[in-house]
Chain A
Amino acid sequence: KNEVEQSPQNLTAQEGEFITINCSYSVGISALHWLQQHPGGGIVSLFMLSSGKKKHGRLIATINIQEKHSSLHITASHPRDSAVYICAAGPNTGNQFYFGTGTSLTVIP
């Protein structure tokens, strides 16, 4: 079993839809990261959070430490949001990150 599980694996949405991507983890964490990987392969760090909720533009990330669960929400989705979204757990012991396998999002105009 992976330390980080994401769902869904693939997601297709119509432009304008509200999108939720879920992440569950089994390790104790110091922080949880959401990353975006575009078709060209580049990776961008979207959020790093250890509690509560963060918002940046149309993106919102929440985390529930007790339930070991985080969600990434995209409001008013747009085709340019099409990418792979990766959840990564930074453990509170040790140095390595544990990555989910990613959610491939396609937003159709």
Chain B
Amino acid sequence: NAGVMQNPRHLVRRRGQEARLRCSPMKGHSHVYWYRQLPEEGLKFMVYLQKENIIDESGMPKERFSAEFPKEGPSILRIQQVVRGDSAAYFCASSRGHRETQYFGPGTRLLVL
């Protein structure tokens, strides 16, 4: 049973480009969480999704950021018109049910030049 998969592991973008981060949860998990870890800072919650539904996006910046978890395929975190301040590690976690143990992916390190 493969763990949580994230790709790409590293992503470099220039200011103004779009970044797409993908997360495939563990088999049997239908709950996905996205977190951001800024340099020298702790993890921050961004968004919580179940299949086809956004449950809680209270941690998402109001503009440029969006997330989806379609019926088929991975969850996607999309950042439009990236700025240097978006440079961070983005972690995805999945769980079987809400408030159950979350299993983390290896993260995607985004660098905006």
Q: Which residues of A contact B (CB under 8 A)?
A: 30-31, 33, 35, 41-45, 48, 86, 88, 90, 94-102
Contacts and interface: CB of A to CB of B under 8 A. Distances in A.
Given A44-B104, A45-B104, A90 B99 contact: yes
A41 B42 contact: no
Contacts of B69: none
A80 to B, nearest CB: 18
Contacts of B103: 45
Interface string B89-110: 1010100001111111011010
Nearest to A30: B99
Interface of B: 33, 35, 41-45, 48, 55-56, 58-59, 89, 91, 93, 98-104, 106-107, 109
Given A86-B42, A97-B43, A101-B41, 4 more contacts: A30-B99, A43-B91, A45-B104, A95-B56
B58 A96 contact: yes
A41 B89 contact: yes
6 contacts: A35-B104, A44-B104, A94-B58, A96-B58, A99-B42, A99-B44
B13 to A, nearest CB: 19
The 8 closest A-B pairs by CB, nearest first: A96-B45, A95-B56, A43-B104, A101-B42, A99-B43, A95-B48, A99-B42, A48-B101
A94 B59 CA distance: 12
A100 B43 CA distance: 8
A66 to B, nearest CB: 21
A88 B43 contact: yes
Contacts of A88: 43
Nearest to A96: B45
A42 B55 CA distance: 25
Contacts of A102: 42
Contacts of B107: 41-43
Which has the most chain A C-beta neighbours within 10 Å: B43, B102, B106? B43
